[in-house]
A and B are shown apart, each in its own frame.
Chain A
Amino acid sequence: MKSLAELKAIKEKMQGQVGLREGSEDGTRVVVGMATCGIAAGARPVLKVLADFVQEKGLANITVTQTGCIGLCQYEPIVEVYEPGKEKVTYIKVDADKAKTIAEQHLARGQAVQEYTVSNSELAK
């Protein structure tokens, strides 16, 4: 059985590092719908891909959170990206692969992936 003793070493290592990640007020918020509709459509891996990416790349100004149903159940899994001073971007029918592309292009480089957004009429059919 794995024991919790290893956590002590992790704590000591992490406490020594400067700038532990804290959700900043003026940062970018990434929100994944995790109500029944979102979960049934496959939101769990999407949330994981996005959160892991932000952690791995150390993107301190981005927080990934979950929300309930926003009323567009037929388009789930839905990912919303709120960047300060910009219009909200809503991605629909996201899967793990699309989430990876969104993370690499939008979260890391600031370029929204237009083909996955709700304004793309092909996807919204």
Chain B
Amino acid sequence: MMQELSLNVLDVAQNSIKAGAKLTEIGVTVSTTDDTLAIVIKDDGCGMDGETLDRVTDPFYTTRTTRKVGLGVGFFKFAAELTGGSFNITSAQGSGTEVTAVFGLSSIDRMPLGDMNGTIETLAMFNQQTDFLYTYEVDGEGFSLDTREFKAELDGVPLDSPDAAAFFREFLEENTAEVNKGRAF
């Protein structure tokens, strides 16, 4: 099992990258009134056929050849269902995949969200061929980070050059702090 939900996101989003996604959208939405924490990972990659989709949460199914088990998506599903939440995955060949996991916010079995900003930073810096749209929202108030906007402003200067990377981190941290208002999820 992962120790934080953000690590599940990092893991599951690798599938979007492997699927050749141009844009991967990652959304975290917290609602204290509904007592939910919802995570959506949506990509425009190659998608899956129905047979693969049926088996994707099966731990003994993987497309990899270096090992015989594939736990990533299964871990995510299990983590959500453990909290009385739900898990859904839809996919169509050629148009992409969408994974939605809803967690019971106050469930004692819910892992903390953890270092979500670290996950977004890792994804964006090490997969610069892919774009990411990250949205973070708590009770209707939130912010988004779009790497397409960053890259357009930087105009050829790499996203991982020291000043740009530092700004990227500050952007995430300051905006997250403003939304969280001292709370942690």
A residues near B, CB below 8 A?
1-2, 4, 6-8, 10-11, 13-15, 20-21, 34-37, 39-40, 44-45, 47-48, 51, 55-56, 65-66, 68-71, 73
A36 touches B154 (CB 8 A): no
CB-CB contacts of B140-161 with A at 8 A, as 1s and 0s?
0001000001100111111011
In chain B, positions 98-136 with a C-beta closer than 8 Å to chain A are 115, 118-119, 121-122, 125-126
Q: With A39-B11, A68-B14, A71-B66 as given contacts, are A48 and B164 in contact (CB-CB < 8 Å)?
A: no
Of B7, B118, B165, the residue contacting A40 (CB under 8 A) is B7
B181 CB-CB contact with A under 8 Å: no
- The residue in chain A whose Cβ has the minimal distance to the Cβ of B122 is A44
A36 to B125, CA, bound (A): 19
Contacts of A44 in B (CB 8 A): 7, 10, 115, 118-119, 122
Q: What's the minimum C-beta distance from A65 to chain B, rounded to whole angstroms?
A: 7
B2 touches A40 (CB 8 A): yes
CB-CB contacts of B155-185 with A at 8 A, as 1s and 0s?
1111011111101001100110010000000
A11 to B171, CA, bound (A): 16
In chain B, positions 11-68 with a C-beta closer than 8 Å to chain A are 11, 14, 18, 64, 66-67
- The residue in chain A whose Cβ has the minimal distance to the Cβ of B9 is A39
Tell me how many residue pairs across A and B have CB atoms closer than 8 Å. 100
Of A11, A13, A35, A65, the residue contacting B14 (CB under 8 A) is A35
Q: Which of A1, A10, A55, A71 has the most CB of B within 10 A?
A: A10
A55 to B67, CA, bound (A): 33
A70 to B66, CA, bound (A): 6
A73 touches B11 (CB 8 A): no
A2 to B70, CA, bound (A): 39
- The residue in chain A whose Cβ has the minimal distance to the Cβ of B156 is A15
